[in-house]
Structure 1
Amino acid sequence: MKALICDEPGKLSIISRAEPKPAAGEVLVRIRRVGICGTDFHIFQGKHPFLEYPRVMGHELSGTVESAPAGSGLKAGQNVYIVPYLSCGQCVGCRKGVTNACQNIRVLGVHCDGGMAEYLSVPAQNVIPVGETSLDDAAMIEFLAIGAHGVKRGGITAQDRVLVVGSGPIGMSAIIFAKARGAHVTVMDMREDRLAFTREQLSADALLLADADAEKKAARLTDGDFYDVVIDATGNRGAMQRGFGFVAHGGRYVLVSVVREDITFSDPEFHKRETTLFASRNAQPDDFAEVVKQMQAGKVPTRALNTHRGSLDDAPRLFQDWLRPEAGVIKAILEV
């Protein structure tokens, strides 16, 4: 079969390798669409901290069942999406039902080879029928589920005033699902074009440029109260630390972002505000189901989010093009 491999930072190659043979309990999926995310770009650029090369990337996946084990409820020819988090099922996280926090988790395309290939074999529990959802939309379910999980972690309701910091794809997902819960959503970013997109396509209620006066502007927008929930989706240490100052007294702060460095905050302010701090890692099965539900309800503007597409064969060239900020990529999809 054909596969796209990242041999080393900055080098992508189309290779031929053996088609995978499903182990007991595994489904062989013919991959049809692969969403490209920031993780893939970081791998390509050599910025991912926990990765060994060479690696076949790809964790935002949809396709068609080629073969499935008896009793799986899946059948050949069925359109599916893939949950890319391979959990052990035995550790304390899995025993508690938080499989996204599995101690031994392996993520397709990161810890093991992923789906930028014609075929992929994965455990049956990680293969979900898409129903009436298109293969294009199904390839976007995973990144949207990450934002949905962050919104769930923050316990967002229609009574909340929410600030989403960072309007990349994950931040956009958080906006979508916070809005779906009826919250008033302000978006903060350094890029005015991204801010404009969130207002025009995602119905953001207010915009805040992340400049030196952002705190003063936020105070004016909220009559000095600041925000019941702040969600950081920047992946930037400085922004994550700054975000504590936008949380209202009694508010919640959700870090969808993760960085290698330590982050710090003012303990007197944290204590005074009785801030609740949440980590938000990957997503859980109910988050994926919520994405599908909101897609079917017409609450996710997938056509607007999918700004770029191309073929697996063209990916070595396209990755270089899509990395340029002026390319305006929000979500790119490869057709396999």
Structure 2
Amino acid sequence: MSGIRKIGVFTSGGDAPGMNACIRAVVRTAVFMGIEVVGIRKGYQGMLDSDFWDMDARSVGNIIHLGGTILKTARCLEFKTDEGTEKAYNNLKSKGIDALVAIGGDGTARGAERLSSRFDIPIMCIPGTIDNDLYGSDFTLGFDTATNTVIEAIDKIRDTAASHNRLFFVEVMGRDSGCIALRSGIAGGAEAVLLPERETAIDELIEKLSLDARNKKTSSIVIVAEGDKSGGAYQLAKRVTEKFDFYDVKVTILGHLQRGGSPSSFDRVLASRLGFAAVKGLIVGNSRQMVGLRGNSVVMTPLGEALNFTHFKLEEDLMEMVSVLSI
């Protein structure tokens, strides 16, 4: 057993639905195990500012259904310096915090690895990002909710597209990952999906839309991940309009709408499982691990492996299905 007496928990980077459910699980698991919990507001910036909150089981009442994060989140350039990292560690020790649970994406995990490797403070990381782009877990917190939000929007857009013989380009989040675009495209019945991982030639897209028109399709929806190499939805719409005039072309950018909202039941359960496992892992002496879900089992992946492993997460069968099912 590790002898840990006080755990700090924080969220960092972009917010994601399910973060509050995860905070709740961390706090209540630790309290149940007889361990004190300190919430660190605004992530690494809060460590530098000593923005600490002594939490108990009641501190996390009625938050499991809330989007965002009650601990707030921020980006912190100062923490990336040696002086900033040392200041953060000293503030943690002054508060008596002897272990951490970090909830966030790639930047959060890299900060945790840096802090823990330099000062040997135990840290467990939980992947919280709607992009679903961290190795070590099949799903990250917020991905399911964000995808459901996109699907709901697509369903509504299709109603107006079908009424007016329109082609909609719908841009979704995913600068480096096409996970949201691909799954929402399949579930929303999109005619095409453009991804950062696979370049689509404009002529290829025009040919697909022309075929749809010849097959008497009166409306179409194209899902575009924001990181697609074609330049985004507006640029694509412009290029398509110049070469193809069958549809009235419109663009919808969903933007930060995808980050908000009450987490899905899947994200609430996932967050609870990973938060529970992170605290138990610290208690038995684990550190510098990414807690994730593979299949239906909670697993732990060394942070170094999680951060350095190039993992192609997009399923080939789903990418093939987009064109097959949209005929």
TM-score w.r.t. structure 1 length? 0.38
Of structures 1 and 2, the larger Rg is shown by 2
Higher helix share: 2
